[in-house]
Homo-oligomer: A and B are copies of this chain.
């Protein structure tokens, strides 16, 4: 067996598992539930993974690794602090609009891991948070603004991450348009008279 099909199959297992964890929660889910959901035998599933905590770890680890790498790449093309922050927002919303189950799992099961696995994930989360905190801080400097970058970064993450509670990416408002609205609101506020996205309709 080469590693490519193994990895591909593992990716499918992780995607299905994220859906089950999102719907049912991590603790009540059994390996038997996951065997049913993936259409694999229990033995087949254990060939890929030692248990459900490792699945939860891999879902979170791959999600953060990818969103961090994607954000770094998106931001690197920015031409100003404002532009870099807008690119971060667009990337984050687009990424999690494609990974709504993972987003719910990252939020609801943040404390379901233990020991080294939990420490690993928290280190990744910290890296991603610091990336956004740096970007908001740069925007403030450019505009001689004086918000609290710590609160500002969490406010923006809240705005964006809450979408798993209400947003349907397949509905009338596509992720790019949602991201633009968030960017306008966050950068210029509800009272800004004419957001450049207002004409996009929807």
Contacts and interface: CB of A to CB of B under 8 A. Distances in A.
Interface of A: 24-25, 27-28, 82, 85, 107-108, 110, 136, 139-140, 142-148, 151-152, 154-163, 165-167, 173, 178, 181-182, 184-195, 198, 202
Could you say how many copies of this chain the assembly holds?
A: 2
A186 B187 contact: no
A151 B165 contact: no
B145 A191 contact: yes
Nearest to A129: B166
A182 B155 contact: yes
Contact of A178 (B143, B151, B163): B151
Contacts of A202: 148
Contacts of A166: 154
9 contacts: A145-B190, A147-B185, A151-B181, A152-B185, A154-B165, A158-B158, A185-B186, A187-B191, A189-B192
